[in-house]
Amino acid sequence: MNVKLIKTEEDYQVALQRLEEIFSAEPDAPEGDELEVLSFLIDSYEKEHFPIEVPDPIEAVKFRMEQLGIKQKDLAEVLGFKSRVSEVLNRKRKLTLEMIRNLHKRLNIPTNVLIQEY
């Protein structure tokens, strides 16, 4: 096993290529440990150089509605009145703490996404 830290884009590309070569290695095979270490190093490099930002709360709600096949009228049960749903989705009304709790509980949207400024 010849694994080294990933410090540059070139190191990253080499690591990805090696990962692809040994991807099917069995855990108890010699390359199994290399696969595990390489995966960890690549993950660390990606988190530092390609961070994923928390999505906008309203976009997250719309995305989740699409995933679940929920219509705007169905969201009235979670947010209150139909008019309130429209105001929230059109960014004319901010989410309240109660709305955030309901969206989290009913649609399983993480609270750290819902509390972001928008």
Q: Give 88-107 pLDDT, tens digit per residue.
A: 999 999 999 999 999 999 99
Structure confidence at residue 38 (pLDDT) = 94
Specify the CATH architecture of the domain 57-114. Orthogonal Bundle (1.10)
Query: 1 or 14: whose pLDDT is higher?
Result: 14
pLDDT of residue 114: 96
Give the distance from CA 37 to its chain's centroid: 23
pLDDT tens for 27-82 read 788 888 899 999 999 999 999 999 888 889 999 999 999 999 999 999 998 898 88
Q: Are 118 and 56 in contact (CB under 8 A)?
A: yes
Secondary structure string (H, E, C) spanning the chain: CCCCCCCCHHHHHHHHHHHHHHCCCCCCCHHHHHHHHHHHHHHHHHHHHCCCCCCCHHHHHHHHHHHHCCCCCCCHHHHCCHHHHHHHHCCCCCCCHHHHHHHHHHHCCCHHHHCCCC
Q: Where do we find the tokens 């699409």?
A: 66
